[in-house]
C-alpha cells in the first residue's frame, strides 16, 4: 500500500484523486501526526512538489498564526502565599514569547538576590518560582529588559487571595 | 474498532445476488453515493468479502477496499472511498487539538466538536444518534474518521461533554494499513 496514488485508474473517472504519503500512507496533510513527519516531508518534496508547496509553504502561515496566539496569550505573575506572611512569585507563560525560562530564572535570582528556579508543574507546563513578593518588580524588569518581546498589555498580576483564606482556615484548624 | 493490526485473512467471492442486495443497502444508507454507484460497484465487478476480527466483513473489488459491515450494523464506507467521494456522507468537523487523539484511536469526545475549531450542523440539519458520519479536521481537507454517532448533534451542543463516537475507522488504524494484495 505504499503507492496508492494511482489506484482509482480509468475505472472511476469521477472519483477524486487523492494522493497518499508514501511513507506513512496517510493523506499528506495528516503526516505531521504520523510520527515520521520529517521523512514524509522529504518524500512529498521529491514526489509531489505541487502539494509540497501547498502544505509546507503554509508553514509560514502557521507562523503567522503563532504570532496571533502570542498576542492572545498572557504572562501571569502570581503571588502565592507560602507561610502566613511569606510569599513566592510564580511566573507562567513566558515560553510563548520566546524567552528561556531557565535563563530568566537565573537572571531574576541575580536581580533580586533571592532564590529563583524553573519548575515544572504537574500539568507539564514550565513556570518560574521566585522567592519573595516581587510581582511588581518582576513586571518592571520584564518590560525593561525584554520589552521588545513582551507587550505590556499581556502581563497580568494575580494575587492569590483565595488561597490565602483557605490557608488561614487551615491554620486555625 | 481496528486499533490492532489486522492479519491477512481468507477472502471469498460474493454471490452476485448477495452483491445486488449489498448494493441496494449501501444506496439506502448513503443516497449520496447514488450518482457514483456504477463507479464504486460496477455490476460486473466481482465483489470479494474479507473477514475481519469482531465479526466485521470488509468488501473489496480488485483489492480496493470499499466498505465494511459489522454483523449487526449498516455498511460503513472505507476512508479511501470517502476520500474519493467526500460529499456522500454528512460531515462534521473537529478542532485541531483533537486530531492527535483521533489518529491514535481514542474515542471522539464532544468538546472537540463544540469548540471554536469544530463544526456541527445547524439545528435544521441536526444529525441523530446512530447516524454514520465522516469527520474532518480543522484546517484539513480530508476526512480522518468515520463511524456511528452515539449522541445526536443537538445533544452534543447542549451537553458539551462525553463520548460522541467510540468505535470508528480512522486514518492509520489496522483497517487502513491492511495489506490486501
Residue-level pLDDT at B133: 92
Question: Residue A1 and residue B35: Cβ atoms within 8 Å?
Answer: no
Of the candidates A36, A31, A54, the residue with the CA atom closest to the CA atom of residue B144? A31
CB contact under 8 A, A16 and B83: yes
Q: Which residues of B touch A40 (CB under 8 A)?
A: none
Q: pLDDT per residue over A137-161, tens digit each?
A: 888 888 888 777 777 777 777 776 5
Of B20 and A38, more confident:
B20
Phi, psi angle pair for A152, to nearest 5°: -55, -45
| Residue A140 φ/ψ region, left for φ over 0, alpha for ψ in the -120 to 50 degree band, beta for the rest | alpha
What is chain B's pLDDT, residue by residue, as a tens digit (181 residues)?
788 888 877 788 888 888 988 899 889 888 888 888 888 888 888 899 998 888 899 999 888 889 999 988 889 999 999 998 888 889 999 988 888 888 888 899 998 898 877 888 888 888 888 889 999 988 788 899 999 999 988 888 888 888 999 888 999 888 888 877 7
Interatomic CA distance for residues B135 and B137, integer angstroms: 7
Residues on chain A touching B35 (C-beta within 8 angstroms): 14
Q: Is the pLDDT of residue A9 over 60?
A: no
Judge: A13–B144 Cβ closer than 8 Å, yes or no.
no
Q: Which residues contact A104 (CB under 8 A, 6 or more apart)?
A: A91, A94, A118, A128
- Overall average pLDDT of the A36-58 stretch: 80
How many whole angstroms separate alpha carbon B177 and alpha carbon A171? 60
Residue B96 class from Cβ within 10 Å (0-12 exposed, 13-18 middle, 19+ buried)? middle
Comparing CB atoms, the residue among A8, A18, A30 nearest residue B103 is: A30
Instruction: Kindly calculate the radius of gyration of chain A based on its CA atoms and give it in whole angstroms.
Output: 25
Report the DSSP beta bridge partners of residue B46.
Answer: none
Nearest to B14 by CA among B26, B2, B22, B6: B22
> By the 8 A CB rule, do B133 and B146 touch?
yes
Chain A residues in contact with B42 by the CB 8 A cut-off are 11
Q: Do B146 and B89 touch, CB atoms closer than 8 A?
A: yes
**A 147-166 residues with CB below 8 A of B?**
none
Q: Is A14 on the interface with B (CB under 8 A)?
A: yes
Instruction: Say yes or no for a CB contact (<8 Å) between B177 and A11.
Output: no
Q: State chain A's mean pLDDT as an integer.
A: 75
First-residue to last-residue Cα distance in chain A: 67
In chain A, the largest separation of any two C-alpha atoms, in whole Å, equals 81
Q: Which of B36, B99, B144 sits opposite A14 (nearest CB)?
A: B36
Q: Which domains does chain A have, with CATH numbers?
A: 1-57 (no CATH), 70-172 (3.30.780.10)
The x, y and z cell numbers of residue B138, run together, are 480543522
Q: What is the mean pLDDT of residues A80-92?
A: 83
Enumerate domains of chain B plus CATH numbers. 11-84 (3.10.400.20), 86-170 (3.10.400.20)
Chain A environment of B177 (Cβ under 8 Å): 1, 25
Burial letters A54-86, b for 16+ CB under 10 A, else e? ebeeeeeeeeeeeeeeeeeeebbbbbbbeeeee
Chosen from B60, B83, B117 to mutate, greatest number of chain A CBs within 10 A? B83
Using a CB-CB cut-off of 8 Å, the residues of chain B touching A8 are: 84
Distance CA B98, CA B144 (A): 11
Amino acid at each position: 500500500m505504499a503507492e496508492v496514488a494511482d489506484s482509482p485508474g480509468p475505472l472511476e473517472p469521477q472519483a477524486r484523486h487523492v494522493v497518499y504519503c508514501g511513507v506513512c500512507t496517510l493523506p499528506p496533510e495528516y503526516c505531521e501526526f504520523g510520527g515520521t513527519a520529517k521523512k514524509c516531508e522529504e518524500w512529498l518534496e521529491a514526489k509531489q512538489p505541487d502539494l509540497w508547496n501547498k502544505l509546507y509553504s503554509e508553514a509560514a502561515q502557521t507562523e503567522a498564526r503563532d504570532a496571533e496566539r502570542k498576542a492572545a496569550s498572557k504572562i501571569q505573575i502570581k503571588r502565592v502565599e507560602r507561610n502566613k506572611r511569606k510569599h513566592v512569585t510564580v511566573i507562567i507563560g513566558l515560553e510563548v514569547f520566546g524567552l528561556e525560562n531557565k535563563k530568566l530564572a537565573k537572571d531574576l535570582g541575580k536581580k533580586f538576590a533571592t532564590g529563583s528556579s524553573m519548575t515544572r508543574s504537574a500539568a507539564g507546563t514550565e513556570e518560574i518560582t521566585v522567592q519573595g513578593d516581587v510581582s511588581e518588580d518582576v513586571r518592571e524588569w520584564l518590560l525593561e529588559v525584554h520589552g521588545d518581546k513582551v507587550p505590556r498589555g499581556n502581563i497580568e498580576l494575580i494575587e492569590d487571595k483565595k488561597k490565602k483564606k483557605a490557608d488561614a482556615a487551615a491554620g486555625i484548624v | 474498532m481496528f486499533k490492532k493490526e489486522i492479519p491477512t485473512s481468507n477472502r471469498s467471492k460474493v454471490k452476485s445476488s448477495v452483491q445486488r442486495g449489498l448494493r441496494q443497502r449501501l444506496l439506502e444508507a448513503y443516497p449520496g453515493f447514488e450518482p457514483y454507484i456504477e463507479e464504486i460497484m460496477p455490476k460486473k465487478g466481482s465483489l470479494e468479502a474479507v473477514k475481519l476480527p469482531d465479526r466485521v466483513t470488509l468488501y473489496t473489488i480488485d483489492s480496493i477496499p470499499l466498505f465494511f459491515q459489522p454483523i449487526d450494523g449498516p455498511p460503513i464506507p472505507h476512508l479511501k472511498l470517502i476520500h474519493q467521494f467526500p460529499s456522500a456522507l454528512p460531515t462534521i468537523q473537529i478542532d485541531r487539538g483533537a486530531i492527535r487523539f483521533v489518529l491514535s484511536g481514542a474515542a471522539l469526545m464532544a468538546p472537540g466538536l463544540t469548540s471554536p475549531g469544530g463544526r456541527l450542523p445547524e439545528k435544521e440539519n441536526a444529525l441523530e444518534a446512530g447516524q454514520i458520519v465522516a469527520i474532518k479536521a480543522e484546517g484539513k481537507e480530508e476526512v480522518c474518521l468515520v463511524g456511528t454517532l452515539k449522541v445526536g448533534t443537538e445533544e452534543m451542543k447542549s451537553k458539551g461533554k462525553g463520548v460522541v463516537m467510540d468505535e470508528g475507522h480512522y486514518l492509520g488504524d489496522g483497517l487502513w494499513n491492511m495489506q490486501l494484495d
